[in-house]
Structure 1
């Protein structure tokens, strides 16, 4: 069920079949504005209620569906929430604009789109080469945060787990974007990312340069207080050889290399999921 749901979600995301109104972030933004506006999120109880309500609702929905019609309603719930949680057209559109600006030589537009790509990161690149490396690291991080982590939570914890993770991620990002005094969110997101980020970074090691990548992974992964973003970006940089001479613009060479590494890592994840499904270890 997890493999089928994930494959359908990937197809819908690649074909851009999900309308903007059904994009996850738009739905959670409406949810936050309607139910938790004002000062409700300034208390720990309010934050926990906002985070748990969507996941609990999904759990109740799965319980109600049960085994009706040979489990077909349950399968539809899996597919629906996998598709919604896996679709992130805004990030994909911004990255496409960045690549288009790089191909036409518009460096200023590249900087603008790079800042929009990840508002939580401070972009301090002073050259086109440094910009490409920075955006490459952003691409690796965004690939983890919006795709690999979502897939792992779906595989391990089903729709309930993936909805909980995406809800915590959304509120943590909104907290940073609005500079709001909402408690608990950074700590909860750090805990949820602790194990998945190390597993995904280990995948980079097997998909890239093993010797240099594994040394960096071992150094960072064994530090239990190391930030998830640092683990992903540093291991990715160590596991992938940065190209120096090719036909791509300077500001996208490192980006394309790290993006290719992220894609290989996701294929590895799907391969492992397929094997686990075949052997009956994953539902």
Structure 2
């Protein structure tokens, strides 16, 4: 069932445009509005309050799916929840606009779309590196947590991810706690994803970097993923073509998602996962 859900979701996500009701951000914003209106999270809130806020939707999702375990309804329900959790339509649409602007030679528009993709941050990441990171956060990590814990695992990851980003302005303490939880959740998935880059990219070049980061708990998920991706894909510098770097890295990320699906299919056939 896990493999069927993944294939259906990725197929539908590729050929359709998701409305706001099929986007995790819509529901996380609504949930955060309720939290703020009830003043459950403030500067004096204990860590268990944040844990409760996270656990409630995850537990409800788990109990809901368990009510229909082993049947067609479970498949439909899990697939629908995964559909909400996977993907980032806003970034996909902006990236398409970036490519269209580049094909027209409109460098000013390209710069504007690049800043939108970077969410107007001041970091020194290239657009390709930003897309690699966003692909991990919105596809690979969600897929791996769905495989590990089902629909509840996908909800767990995206809820903590959204809280970590949205609480940064209003409640830095809670945002820091959410980021610590996110680092824990990312520890294994980011290493699996980076391993996929080795397999679908330049294995010998990227392997030493991946091995050096493998046992190190202090390395952030972003640093590990981006440094391995640099080694896994050789990019030829082209000052005249601003799409060379992002297109190359996006292709790497897509190949990696396909690799993850192949591994999941093999594990499903062999009976390791349901």
TM surpasses 0.5: yes
User: Post-superposition shift, 1:119?
Assistant: 2.7
State the alpha-carbon separation in 2 of the partners of residues 102 and 208 from structure 1: 26
- Contact 1:16/1:89, CA 8 A, preserved across alignment: no
Match of 1:24 in 2: 24
* TM-score scaled by length of structure 2: 0.91
Counterpart of 1:242 in structure 2 is 235
Q: CA RMSD in A?
A: 1.9
Q: Secondary structure at the match of 1:225?
A: coil
CA deviation after TM superposition for structure 1 residue 210, in Å: 1.1
Q: 1:194 to 1:211 in 2, by over 3 A?
A: same
- Count of matched residue pairs: 269
- Residue 259 of structure 2 is aligned to residue 268 of structure 1: yes
For the pair 1:119 / 2:124, whether they are aligned, the reply is no
The answer to whether residue 177 in structure 2 is matched with residue 188 in structure 1 is no
Which digits, 9 at most, give the CA deviation of each residue in 1:97-122, with x for residues without a partner?
A: 22222222222322322222133853
**Structure 1 residue aligned with 2:190:** 197
| Cα 1:39/1:112, change in 2 over 3 Å | farther
Question: Post-superposition shift, 1:64?
Answer: 2.3
In 2: Cα distance, 1:280 partner to 1:244 partner: 45
**Structure 2: gaps of 5 or more residues:** none
Identify if the C-alpha distance between structure 1 residues 146 and 230 changes in structure 2 by more than 3 Å, giving closer, same or farther: same
- Cα distance 1:50–1:115, how it changes in 2: closer, same or farther (>3 A)? farther
CA contact (8 A) 1:5 1:79 kept: yes
Q: Distance in 1 between matches of 2:242 and 2:222?
A: 21
Is 2:146–2:153's contact at 8 Å kept on the other side of the alignment? Answer: yes
Give the corresponding residue for 1:128: none
Q: Could you tell me whether the CA contact under 8 Å between 2:17 and 2:89 is conserved in 1?
A: no
CA distance 1:198–1:66, change in 2 (3 Å) = closer
Partner residue, 1:253? 244
CA distance in 1, matches of 2:200, 2:36: 42
Stretches of structure 1 lacking an aligned partner (at least 5 in a row): 125-132
Partner of 1:213: 206
Question: Are residues 249 and 92 of structure 1, via their aligned partners in 2, closer, same or farther at CA, if it must alter by over 3 Å?
Answer: farther
